[in-house]
């Protein structure tokens, strides 16, 4: 079984601050991390490989500047078998349309996977578009918002989040799944032995020549959307906090407050 | 000039330890300080991260870290645990397991090091005695050969980790006089399991780093086997310094981590806190000490890692014992003082909150204060540097 996990390096948004005068994000000095949704997808991929046994393989795939290598090295330390970084000036400035085109081409070039796992979304853009677009470009079925994946032969059984709870769906492989961690997910931190093993695993950097796509359709030139401005929304006042009493009392107070506002 | 550069693996480890600590350690520091204990599940989590006795060979359960890599972990624990309790737990074990691994017998190492790497035992150091700190030549604890065994008598105090050894097992790398006429030339180093009959442990209260214990023990006719001797008999004084130097260099890294974290706390605070219509970070009275402390701690950090790098170079025969001693002493001499000065100003910027028990920086201040003394006082560090500059004929104690 072959699993490709798409991984993005993002600024650690817990460290991003807002310029109080301009309202724009200050990215200077902000450390880069692996997108947390992608880390969950990767750990799911590694878990599925362990369960499958045999010649199963997990490939971590990323697109980004050369510095994105560190996210892939972490993926290797977390258990991926090999890693590919798509890095080329022509990939730069891509929106989700151009990114999914590039990643889909790389998936084809890396060989037919049984599963493609993506994080639900990246914490810098929050679009949640790239995964589904890759599935569309590869003509694969997709399941989004997956919290748990089990394999039953060539079928993946997926527990996915919905607005009202969970639903369990089945999909025939090959398929693409976007993943979101359950509340109790604790991301792994690799120890030194895993880090030193990661350095010995295959790691490749691919340019545009490897994926056989016209350069004009990639990167900024291939992107129909562009970011005009990034800013922080105006701060809202803190809401009313109901606390310090029993759940039943708080529920009653909440009901009355909502009724008073005409919401209920 | 000796320079060092962190490898990709070392940078990855730093990031991994930082992430681990942010999730598992920092949120529990207040609880640890209140309960005066490092929870066992946290110690086990450190073991899972391979942070316990990390320089030890894989054969005995370690990860074979070099000294620089061990320093990185020390710096990160200094950042993450503002009471420095876990940093002390880490560095004491790391340093004395390092020495134990290097000079101990296979039988003794096999018995005591693997449980410590798993978080099920503690390895400490016991040299200090009542009235005898740096002046080891006048210690009273003795070790006497008796057939195939040795008899130990005496007393040790201000020893880290006595309660942890009682709870989990393990013991202390201990030094005692064997040839009573030979002064420092007649000392023997050995591993003393504190669970042996004849050992009576007491605990002390300290002003900081409260989650790791400090105490002492009386030793009354305690028998140890020959395999517990570390290095050659009557050569303990010479090899014990290798453990101290390792510990001192890691302490310098811990101080860097604590001071840098405190300065970061301070930077956030002085940008937000307004006085007289503007953020206090706009006043030069705040800016100048900030710039000075940042510069000094950055310099200290470079010196600390240079010291650790020289320990690694010494193993390859590329640095001498004396060069290592001097560089380590330079870093240890200033680390706690400079870190305290930085943290003291961060406390001052925060006004009354800086003196409040809820302020992490006051806990860091109390913790870092211990490092002006622990593993060799800053005054002794100065005598070491001066000895290397002036020559052995100027050694104070001769």
Chain A interface with B: residues with Cβ < 8 Å: 31, 70, 73-74, 77, 186-187, 189-193, 195-196, 198-199
> Mind listing the domains of chain A with CATH numbers?
2-217 (3.40.50.620)
Residue B11 touches partner A, C-beta closer than 8 Å: yes
Which of B8, B16, B69 lies nearest to residue A189, judging by beta carbons?
B16
CA A2 vs CA A103, A148, B102, B113, B224: distances in Å: 16, 18, 45, 41, 57
Q: Indicate the pairing of strand B274-275 with strand A57-63.
A: unpaired
Å from A262 to nearest chain B CA?
A: 39
Distance, in Å, from the CA atom of B25 to the CA atom of A14, rounded to the nearest integer, reads 18
Which residues in A lie closer than 8 A to residue B57 (C-beta atoms)?
none
B19 with A73: Cβ contact below 8 A? no
* Chain A touched by B12 (CB under 8 Å): yes
Angstrom distance (rounded) from CA B344 to CA B350: 10
User: What residues 69-88 of chain B have any CB closer than 8 A to a CB of chain A?
Assistant: 69
Q: State whether A192 and B65 contact (CB < 8 Å).
A: yes
Does B137 contact chain A (CB < 8 Å)?
no
A190–B12 CB contact, under 8 Å: yes
Alpha helix positions (H), chain A = 36-52, 69-77, 96-109, 130-138, 192-198, 247-260
- Using the Cβ of B57 and the Cβ atoms of chain A, whether some distance falls under 8 Å is answered with no
Average pLDDT over residues B5-23: 96
Residue B333: closest CA among B397, B252, B258: B252
Give the per-residue pLDDT at B22.
95
Residue A171 pLDDT: 98
Place of tokens 């545009």: A208
State the Cα–Cα distance between residues B223 and B200, nearest whole angstrom.
Answer: 14
pTM of the model: 0.90
pLDDT band at B2 (very low <50, low <70, confident <90, very high): low
pLDDT digits (tens, 9 = 90+) for B241-289: 999 999 999 999 999 999 999 999 999 999 999 999 999 999 999 999 9
**B54 CB near a chain A CB, below 8 Å?**
yes
What pLDDT does residue A232 have?
Answer: 73
CB atoms within 10 A of CB A109: 14
Mean pLDDT within B18-44: 96
pLDDT of residue A25: 64
Instruction: Measure Cα distances from B20 to B77, B80, B381 in Å.
Output: 10, 10, 34
What is the side-by-side order of every strand in the sheet holding A82-86? A165-172, A155-162, A142-152, A175-179, A115-119, A2-6, A57-63, A82-86, A203-206
Chain B hits for A73, CB-CB cut-off 8 Å, are 8, 12
- The arithmetic mean of pLDDT across residues B127-131, rounded, is 93
B17 chain-A contacts, CB cut-off 8 A: 189
Residues of A with Cβ-Cβ distance to B69 under 8 angstroms: 192
Nearest CA in chain B to A12: B19
- Nearest one of A125, A138, A3, A6 to A57, comparing CA atoms: A3
Question: How sure is the predictor about B58, in pLDDT bands with cuts at 50, 70 and 90?
Answer: very high
What confidence tier does B133 reach under pLDDT thresholds 50, 70, 90? Answer: confident
Distance in angstroms (rounded) separating the CA atoms of residues A127 and A94: 13
Partner A contacted by B49 (CB < 8 A):
yes
Q: Please name the residue of chain A whose CA is at the shortest distance from the CA of residue B19.
A: A189
Q: Which of B15, B23, B49 sits opposite A191 (nearest CB)?
A: B49
Helix (H, G, I), strand (E, B) or coil at B179: coil
Cross-chain Cβ contact A73/B12 below 8 Å = yes
B/e letters for B181-207, b = 16+ CB within 10 Å, e = fewer, are eeebebbbbbbbbbeeeebebeeeebe
Please tell me which of the candidates B19, B23, B63 has its beta carbon nearest to residue A193.
Answer: B63
The chain-wide mean pLDDT, for chain B, equals 96
Q: Is the dihedral of CA A64, A68, A69, A71 positive or negative?
A: negative
The answer to whether the CB atoms of A199 and B15 lie below 8 A apart is: no
Residues in chain A with pLDDT values less than 50: none
> Which residues, in sequence order, are CB contacts of B93 under 8 Å at separation 6+?
B52, B53, B116, B122, B123, B124, B161
SS3 A79: coil
Farthest-apart Cα atoms in chain B, separation: 79
pLDDT of residue A21: 66
Integer Cα distance of B42 and A207 in angstroms: 44
Structure token digits, residue A6 = 């798409």
Angstrom CA distances, A209 to A82, A88, B240, stand at 20, 9, 59
B398/B21: higher pLDDT: B21
Return the percentage of chain B with pLDDT > 70, whole number.
99
Find the closest chain A residue to B51 by CA distance. A191
Minimum distance, in Å, between the CA of residue B304 and any CA atom of chain A: 21
- Whole-angstrom distance, CA of residue B164 vs CA of residue B123: 9
Cα–Cα distance for residue pair B94/B244, rounded to 1 Å? 11
The pLDDT of residue A27: 66
Provide, as residue numbers in chain A, all residues whose Cβ is less than 8 Å from the Cβ of B269: none
pLDDT, residue A31, reads 85
Residues pairing with B193 in the sheet = B171
B197 to A27, A146, B68, B151, B201: CA distances (angstroms): 61, 59, 39, 12, 11
Sign of CA dihedral A98, A99, A102, A107: negative
Per-residue pLDDT, averaged over B103-111, amounts to 97
Pairing outcome for strands B170-177 and B122-126: parallel
- Subunit contact A192:B13, Cβ cutoff 8 A: yes
Count of pairs with CB atoms under 8 A, one residue in A, one in B: 46
Report the residue of chain B nearest A31, measured CA to CA: B15
Residue A229 is predicted with a pLDDT of 77
Residue A191 to residue B16, Cβ atoms within 8 A: yes
């Amino acid at each position: 079984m072959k699993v490709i996990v798409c991984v993005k390096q993002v600024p650690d948004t817990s460290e991003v601050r807002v310029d109080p005068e301009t309202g724009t994000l200050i990215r200077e000095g902000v450390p880069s991390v692996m997108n947390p949704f992608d880390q969950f997808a990767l750990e799911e991929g590694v878990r599925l490989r362990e369960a499958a046994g045999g010649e199963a393989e997990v490939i971590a795939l990323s697109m980004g500047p050369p510095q994105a290598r560190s996210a892939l090295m972490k993926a290797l330390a977390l258990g991926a078998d090999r890693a590919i970084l798509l890095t080329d000036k022509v990939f730069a400035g891509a929106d989700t349309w151009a990114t999914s085109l590039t990643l889909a081409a790389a998936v084809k070039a890396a060989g037919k996977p049984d599963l493609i796992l993506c994080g639900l979304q990246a914490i810098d853009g929050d679009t949640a578009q790239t995964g589904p677009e890759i599935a569309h470009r590869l003509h694969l079925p997709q399941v989004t918002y997956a919290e748990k994946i089990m394999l039953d032969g060539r079928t993946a059984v997926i527990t996915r989040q919905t607005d009202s709870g969970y639903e369990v769906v089945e999909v025939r492989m090959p398929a693409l799944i976007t993943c979101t961690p359950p509340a109790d997910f604790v991301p792994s931190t690799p120890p030194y032995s895993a880090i030193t093993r990661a350095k010995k695993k295959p790691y490749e950097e691919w340019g545009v020549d490897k994926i056989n796509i016209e350069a004009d359709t990639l990167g900024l030139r291939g992107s129909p959307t562009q970011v005009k401005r990034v800013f922080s929304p105006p701060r809202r006042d803190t809401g009313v906090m109901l606390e310090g009493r029993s759940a039943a009392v708080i529920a009653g107070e909440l009901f009355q407050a909502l009724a008073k506002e005409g919401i209920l | 000039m000796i320079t060092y550069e962190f490898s990709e693996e070392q940078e990855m480890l730093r990031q991994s330890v930082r992430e681990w600590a942010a999730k598992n350690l920092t949120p529990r520091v207040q609880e640890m300080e209140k309960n005066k204990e490092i929870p066992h599940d946290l110690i086990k989590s450190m073991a899972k991260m391979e942070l316990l006795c990390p320089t030890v060979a894989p054969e005995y359960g370690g990860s074979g870290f070099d000294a620089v890599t061990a320093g990185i972990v020390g710096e990160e624990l200094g950042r993450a645990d503002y009471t420095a309790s876990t940093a002390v737990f880490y560095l004491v074990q790391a340093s004395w397991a390092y020495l134990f691994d290097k000079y101990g017998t296979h039988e003794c190492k096999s018995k005591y090091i693997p449980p410590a790497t798993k978080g099920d035992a503690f390895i400490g150091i016991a040299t200090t005695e009542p009235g005898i700190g740096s002046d080891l030549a006048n210690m009273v604890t003795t070790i006497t050969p008796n057939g195939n065994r040795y008899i130990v008598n005496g007393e040790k105090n201000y020893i880290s980790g006595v309660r942890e050894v009682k709870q989990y097992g393990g013991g202390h790398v201990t030094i005692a006089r064997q040839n009573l006429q030979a002064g420092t030339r007649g000392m023997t180093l050995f591993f003393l399991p504190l669970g042996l009959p004849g050992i009576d442990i007491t605990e002390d209260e300290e002003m900081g780093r409260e989650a790791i214990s400090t105490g002492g023990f009386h030793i009354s006719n305690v028998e140890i086997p020959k395999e517990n001797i570390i290095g050659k008999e009557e050569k303990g004084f010479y090899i014990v310094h290798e453990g101290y130097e390792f510990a001192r260099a890691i302490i310098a890294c811990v101080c860097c981590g604590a001071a840098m974290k405190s300065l970061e706390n301070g930077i956030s605070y002085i940008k937000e806190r307004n006085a007289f219509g503007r953020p206090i970070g706009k006043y030069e009275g705040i800016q100048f000490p900030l710039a000075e402390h940042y510069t000094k701690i950055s310099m200290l950090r470079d010196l600390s890692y240079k010291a650790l790098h020289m320990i690694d170079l010494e193993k390859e025969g590329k640095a001498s014992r004396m060069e290592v001693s001097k560089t380590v002493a330079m870093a240890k001499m200033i680390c706690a003082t400079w870190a305290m000065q930085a943290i003291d100003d961060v406390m001052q910027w925060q006004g009354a909150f800086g003196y409040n028990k809820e302020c992490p920086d006051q806990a860091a201040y109390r913790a870092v204060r211990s490092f002006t003394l622990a593993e060799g006082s800053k005054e002794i560090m100065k005598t070491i540097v001066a000895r290397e500059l002036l020559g052995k004929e100027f050694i104070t104690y001769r």
